[in-house]
Amino acid sequence: MGTYGWDAVPDRLVITRAGIEQAVWAEFHRHGLPPPRCDAGIPEASAHPPGTELEHRCYLPATGAEPDQRTVMITITVQHGGPLLRSVPQP
């Protein structure tokens, strides 16, 4: 008799405000950066297809690497294993 295997791929993933805040804090503040702030209105919990970029953002003050850069915006994408966070410098 053979062995069978499969990968389950969910069509939607649940993401929570607490999980987003924890991931942002762990990724950015632990490196000595100032505390991040996130948009108001992030739902307590919501479900999205994997790969969905949320409309909500988080922000950090710039660290001074670029003199004209004042804020770093953090985009949040839903993925298996936790949110994908990308920092985008803002003028």
pLDDT, tens digit, 9 for 90 and up, residues 11-69: 999 999 999 989 988 888 777 777 888 999 999 999 999 999 999 999 888 765 556 66
CA distance 59 to 3: 48
- Show the 3-state SS of the chain: CCCCCCCCCCCCEEEEHHHHHHHHHHHHHHHCCCCCEECCCCCCEEEECCCCECCCCEEEECCCCCCCCCEEEEEEECCCCCCEEEEEEEC
pLDDT tens figures, 68-91:
667 889 999 999 888 899 988 776
Determine the pLDDT at residue 90: 75
Its pTM stands at 0.79
C-alpha dihedral, 23 to 26 to 27 to 33, nearest 10°: 130
Could you tell me the residue ranges of all domains in the chain?
Answer: 13-90
